[in-house]
Structure 1
Amino acid sequence: NREDRRTTILFGDGAGAVVLGPAAGEGRGVLANRLASFAADRHLIEVPGGGSRIPATAETLAEGLQYFTMNGRGVRDFVAANVPPAIDAFLSERGLTPADIAHFVPHQANGRMLENLSEEIGVGTDRTWTTYERYGNTGSASVPITLDRAARSGRLADGDLVLLAGFGGGMALGLSLIRW
């Protein structure tokens, strides 16, 4: 919705994918994944109409229900309250701590949120990869775009643990742990 100044200026445009192949060596590749949803908070980021719950009609279009909506402060609070404990549990279940993570590649929501998240989970900004400053928030594409930047940098070393974290609409959370 071009009239919604709370969201129009926040997002970039991008697409990303990760092509996986056989991992070279035992204990390499994708080690673990976690998906979670927090349906009670789905109103924080949503497109209310146009889907199966509220199909598109002349009335829903007139009401603007086909447009993306977001409660920015609510999303920030959601991330602060839910993502660090989820990451802590994800790592702990594997006998790992934040000190074991060589590279953190999060969804590129915004700079301040990423700084806070990196510090809160204990990886710090020095091990956190960002691309928001160049591309903005490219939504779900931001994780593969940022992973590509990290890979092209030459700084991902053989055997490094890489933590990927995506969060957003619905409210959903996805985590992946990769041994590079």
Structure 2
Amino acid sequence: MTAGLIDVASYLPPTEVGREYFERYARPDDPLVRNPMFRAPRSRRYADRTQTAPDLIELAVGALTARHGPTVLDDVEVLITHTALPDVPFLGAGAEIARRLGLRPESIIDLHNGHCAVFPYMLSLARNLLSGASTGRALLCLTQNSGRIFTQPGVRTSAHASVIGDGAAVALVGATGGATILDTEVRHHPEYAADVDIVLADGRLYWEPGTAELDVHFDNRKAQNIIERGTVLVPDVIRAVCDRLSLATKDIDVLVTNQPNRLLLRNWSRELGVDPARHPDTFDSYGNLFGAGMPITFDHAVRAGLVPDGSLVVFGGFAGAGELTAAAAVRWRENVQGGESE
């Protein structure tokens, strides 16, 4: 059995916010204001404050069924979800997504780790879970809905707040057919896990009562470490996949990475020897979309005609401060038809 990536579809909320919004509130004394990791994109999209992760996934699924018809999900046996900001602290989004879509999968997995590199991680899991099946499909659902954290009155003054955008994507993986998943690689680096944490100005724990705003803690030392790690770790995991396939990185037709900032996007193209024209970039339009960044960027590249049939597509990225890296190689075999999914 050869698992295949059948299609990817995405949804971006209609509310567009330009960089001037953050410039209006920026603190000139912010020590991160000149850090290249936090140079603001031109714009980004934000989900409505009432939109839940299942709401966003439903809209992305709507783009998928518009292309393939309402029966495209009939054989879904595996549902894997990733939500940046869970709507209910104790529960993942999988059961509610299944209820709304009318699915009865054998497995529902709410994958919390993986973050910005979660898409190739999901492809690896789906490939393994479907390995013994002659039929059946996996639906991968990815939601970046944490933009609302970074528009809080106290947080939006920070340089790092300006790079985040919201969006959602879904991908359908089949036990047969589709774009063949050639190989995957997932690496864990737990020694870096402590470098991303949350802070509240009053020192309380996030679940304790109070008025201080939840934020993600960054300083210039951490930011520099993340840039240096990311520059090395992502090319390394991509090379590992290419080496097993006896391919050089110059053979990559389309490189799809997570979209953290302009600096890392430039570094990855350079390190891998991939022409930036073959490395789709949605950062300036949509900002850092965390785990949804890779499938959204790929969906837009396909619909823009940048992924011809037979293309070697390699997905790669890193999570958080580098605690997980993942890559997947796919031989794209079909053109995706349909209009904009926004």
- What SS is found at the alignment partner of 1:123? coil
Structure 1 partner of 2:101: none
CA RMSD of aligned residues (A): 2.4
In structure 2, relative to structure 1, the CA distance for the partners of 1:63 and 1:37 (3 Å cut) is farther
**Alignment partners' CA distance in 1, 2:167 and 2:198:** 19
Greater fraction of residues in strand:
2
The unaligned stretches of length 5 or more in structure 2 are: 1-149, 333-342
| 1:58 to 2:173 alignment | no
| 1:36–1:62 Cα change, 3 Å | farther
Give distance in 2, aligned partners of 1:149 and 1:48: 35
Are the aligned partners of 2:252 and 2:312 in contact in 1 as well (CA < 8 Å)? yes
CA contact (8 A) 1:31 1:176 kept: yes
Change (3 A) 1:46 1:147: farther
Q: Tell me which amino acid in the other structure corresponds to 1:178.
A: V
* Cα 1:41–1:93 shift into 2, 3 Å: same
Measure, in 2, the Cα distance between the counterparts of 1:137 and 1:19: 23
Mapped contact 1:44–1:74 kept (Cα < 8 A): no
- Aligned residue pairs total 170
Structure 2 equivalent of residue 52 of structure 1: none
Match of 1:67 among 195, 215, 227: 215
Structure of larger gyration radius: 2
Q: Is residue 171 of structure 2 the alignment partner of residue 18 of structure 1?
A: yes
Query: For the Cα contact (< 8 Å) 2:181–2:329, is it kept in 1?
Result: yes
Percent same amino acid at aligned positions? 26
TM-score in terms of structure 2 length: 0.45
Greater relative contact order (CA < 8 Å, ≥ 6 in sequence): 1
Q: Which moved more, 1:31-40 or 1:14-23?
A: 14-23
1:32-66 superposed Cα distances (whole Å, 9 cap, x missing partner):
111112111113334479xxxxx85428x7887x5
User: In structure 2, how many angstroms separate the alpha carbons of the residues matched to 1:44 and 1:118?
Assistant: 25
> In structure 1, what is the Cα distance between the partners aligned to 2:211 and 2:191?
27
Whether contact under 8 Å (2:258, 2:294) holds in the other structure is yes
Task: Indicate whether 1:133 and 2:287 are aligned.
Answer: no
Equivalent position to 2:248, from 89, 92, 97: 97
Distance 2:251 2:177 in 1: 20
